[in-house]
Amino acid sequence: MKTNTIYLFLITTVLFMACSKEKKQAEKKQVSIKAPVAKKIPKKLEAHGDTRVDDYFWMRLSDAQKNAETPDAQTQDVLDYLIAENTYKDSVMKHTQGIQEKLYNEIVGRIKKDDASVPYNDNGYSYYTRYEKGMDYALYCRKKLTDKEAKEEIILNGPKLAKGHSYFAVGTRTISTNNTLLAYSVDTVSRRRYTIYFKNLESGELLSDRLENTSGNIVWANDNKTVFYASKDPVTLRQNKIYKHILGTKQSEDVLVFDEKDETYLCFVFKSKSSKYIMIGSSQTLSTEYRYVSADTPNDDWKVIQPREKDLEYSVDHYKDHFYIRTNLDARNFRLVKTPITATTKENWVDVIPHREDVLLQSFVVFKEHLVLQERVNGLRTLRTMKWNGDDDHYIEFNDPAYATYLRDNLDFDTNILRYVYTSLTTPSSTIDYNMDTKEKVVLKEQEVLDPNFSKDNYVSERVYATAKDGVKVPISIVYKKGIEKSSTTPLLLYSYGSYGSSSEPTFRSNRLSLLDRGFVYAIAHIRGGQEMGRHWYEDGKLLKKKNTFTDFIDCGEFLVEKGYTSPKHMYAMGGSAGGLLMGAVLNMKPELWNGVVAAVPFVDVVSTMMDETIPLTTFEFDEWGNPKNKEYYDYMKSYSPYDNVEAKEYPNIMITTGYWDSQVQYWEPAKWTAKLRELKTDDNLLIMDCDMKTGHGGASGRFERYKRTALNYAFMMDLEGIKK
């Protein structure tokens, strides 16, 4: 954002001393300013004979208004309000600056500064990224595999490219088949609209080709001159078109090969693992469709594998003479089928792995001699390997009560080595090569924690189950430091997400040690809306069952209190994006259960956002939340939408974060919510909003910069606990 779009907001400071004994931060005699009061301009919003009045509707801005050289009156009013909230946040949190700095230094101090990733092999080269001390961004490198004395090639210099940008993110990096050309994408605004560049790796020079307004993904055909990419609708940011570009031509000359006209779908392009086919996928929440063309003849006509059908999901890869397809056809938890390349529609699909009621098939990877399945059993990820000839079929063993494992960089086809990552709440992330024949494991790298006092044996992990109000057992993963006495005075942070079938995994985070070492218990509620316990877990937490997500979280909180882990005076809740919606809902439904809540980039204005099809993500999420143009969904959404249900009552301490350039949850949702909460709440508890004026949904782009907000969030909770060091 250009500097002349913002001027400093000045306001008179007054001496402040709060009299509430419940607020520990009010015991500090500090200079503070009054909380901002947003102006009210009532706007009637009518649908289905119902009228909502939104006093803060005026905060919405278009991209054109954001990017204007000179702000108009409305834009300036919005900027003034956001800056006022930031100024207020800085003032009331000023006394925590010392612990914020300590936390930040502590967190980044645990991270190895001159780190490097584990190399992976692809088409004759070994690829890896590495960081140098003092650098926020990575160097992207490779070495020739055929030359033992091969010198490192820096194919992309992140620190150099990021120079001068307040935000910088590399999207994808793709090498041409002949290994001489690099296509890479960059976002310097944080709106996830990437520009694609091309680099000659032999000369080091950039080509003149430049592709604007893309999703960031690039796919090479096998002729080393043709690439495919997805472009975005300039208003909704929906990935709606796939183009073919020939190197050396202008973007205006690119050929449109696919136009996704259905506004409830987005489209994308990728290459099969075999490198023989380029595929275009179209997807919405509950339906997919794929088409393909030979990577050797990219000008041929595209063929559809299986035409789209309502509620039919499938994903595709290629092996020998068949396409292998993961699908929910007659299989709620998905099954794996295969079909001849010459006959791809569903009547030709034959089971490879049948459907199972108690096992969720999440993904698969094909090798020359092996098939690997990533499944979910009893709420935990598993890895299953099997030989095509049927000689061996086994699961890799894991021992922690709560853990996560992920497949990683398995690009080689002709190998018996499977690479995966393993982590748990107590175990740092480890990259492991597993011999699928001998079952031998080789730990290539374990995440280093640069803290002489750290040992995984110093922490305890548990897996417990809360009973929801309808009798369902909801898993909770818990970690704390050995020796911590769990009682009604123990601080506890409960986290979850609970949407889109995205599971909240029990992974290790070194920054979390700053909480654990100060006596916090950390817990993850595996609530419905995720997919931890199978596909039904997701289906029972969406659309007209969405409230199960919120009540599950509350039930988990009450369970932890009942079992003596903590008490409402010392329990905190945290979630981001759709997890921020969760935070907003439980704040309205059970405000007395929490001492503090952190809502990051929260999706809280559900009805208005889902009514506006110009907003990014709206149209292809109707199957997640419902379409409020249907009265049944409108009424249900309105009954839980955090913004629409703010009331005149007491709320706990609240920290809200957002980014001005957020393309997923527009900044005005948390801003409006903050203003309405500030207007109606009847308590004296803290309510602060942190709006990062330079970033979007994912926060700061630098390797370390993002932890400044982590330190702020932690300081917010620690201050409420009276923890000063």
By annotation, the residues acting in catalysis are: 577, 662, 697
Cβ atoms of 607 and 268 within 8 Å: the answer is no
**Could you write out the DSSP letters of every residue in 52-77?**
EEETTGGG---HHHHT-SS--HHHHH
Q: Determine the 3-state secondary structure of 401 from DSSP.
A: coil
Shortest CA distance to 414 belongs to which of 363, 369, 352?
Answer: 369
Closest C-alpha among 414, 362, 412 to residue 388: 414
Residue 157 per-residue DSSP state: E
Q: Strand pairing partners for 197?
A: 184, 210
For residue 495, which of 394, 380, 623, 586 has the smallest C-alpha distance? 586
Pair 376, 534: CB distance under 8 Å: yes
Could you give the CA distance from residue 36 to residue 84 in angstroms, rounded to a whole number? 6
**β partners of residue 530:** 528
Name the token pair of 582. Answer: 């969760």
Write the single-letter amino acid at 409.
D
Tokens describing residue 191:
């709106």
Q: Contact 70/64 with Cβ under 8 angstroms? A: no
Q: Which residues have a Cβ under 8 Å from the Cβ of 228 and sit 6 or more positions away?
A: 218, 219, 221, 242, 243, 244, 245, 257, 269, 278, 280, 298
Q: Which of 422, 379, 660, 673 is nearest to 527 (CA)?
A: 379
Distance CA 410, CA 406 (A): 11
* Distance (Å, whole) CA 273 – CA 411: 7
589 phi-psi bin (left φ>0, alpha ψ -120 to 50, beta other): alpha
Q: What is the dihedral of CA 63, 598, 462, 718, to 10 degrees?
A: 140
| Distance, first Cα to last Cα, the chain | 36
Separation of alpha carbons 59 and 76, rounded Å: 10
Q: What torsion do the CA atoms of 98, 101, 102, 108 make, to the nearest 10 degrees?
A: 180
Q: Is 457 helix (H, G, I), strand (E, B) or coil?
A: helix
Give helix 578-589 / helix 547-562 axis angle, nearest 10°.
Answer: 60
Amino acid at residue number 637: M
User: How many residues comprise the chain?
Assistant: 725
Dist CA 700 CA 117 (whole Å): 21
Contacts with 378 (C-beta within 8 Å, 6 or more apart), sequence order: 533
